[in-house]
Amino acid sequence: MNKEILCAPNLRATLAALARESVHRGLNQGSSGNVSVRSRSGFLITPSGQDMAALTAADMVVLDMNGEVLGSGRPSSEWRFHRDIYAAYPEAEAVVHAHSPFAVAMACLRRDIPSFHYMVAMAGGTDIRCADYATFGTQALSDAVLAALQDRRACLMANHGLLAWGANLPAALALANEVEALCGQYLRACQVGEPVLLSTAEMLEVLEKFKEYRSNA
């Protein structure tokens, strides 16, 4: 049996719709960025070099966990960090990578997002780290991303953009959107002065409250 048929058509369509939505929200433009979703055979990912706003279900590329294409298509050159996130985090079901304006600005400064606002905790920790720089599409970049994602669900990528994973496609997109908003808020605050940061104790309290919130959702 061709493993590609294990990826239901509605999963392909949902991923394509989320790719288009990332453009609508201003997270991506043109062929920048990529999104993926876990599947029974490995994962589906957006293709290389195509306009994200025009992607359809048929454009989605299926890979196994060895990075081998199942069927046809040329996957995003960034497939390695998608594969490695799925391998490292069993709870990760979707990954969004974006070249959004404020996140790119922060990433080009190679600065972490500190605890200037309690919503930083949405990414799972007391800050959002910026991964070390490595050339796009390389294993070195994936290794840098995995290091920045330790105990986190999102990170910036030096001179590149942002990355977020979630328990489903909407959750991954929502977190990417939140990280972009936080980058914009932090940059604006820095234009006026040095933002006052929440303490580690205050952030840990927020993290606990977020756990309660999710359990009651």
Which structure tokens are listed for 120? 């930083």
78 is known as an active-site residue: yes
User: Residue range 133-158: average pLDDT?
Assistant: 98
> For the domain 3-216, what is the CATH superfamily, name and number?
Class II aldolase/adducin N-terminal domain (3.40.225.10)
Please, is 144 exposed, middle or buried when counting C-beta atoms within 10 Å of its C-beta (0-12, 13-18, 19+)? buried
Domain parsing of the chain, residue ranges: 3-216
Which structure tokens are listed for 67? 């990075």
Reported confidence tier of residue 6, pLDDT bands at 50, 70, 90: very low
pLDDT score of 173 more than 70: yes
pLDDT for the residue numbered 2: 38
pLDDT for the residue numbered 211: 86
Which structure tokens are listed for 212? 């309660």
Inter-residue contact 141 to 135 (CB < 8 Å)? yes
Q: How many helices (H) and strands (E) does the chain have?
A: 6, 7
pLDDT for the residue numbered 5: 37
pLDDT score of 148 more than 90: yes
Among residues 4, 21, 78, 212, the one annotated as catalytic is 78
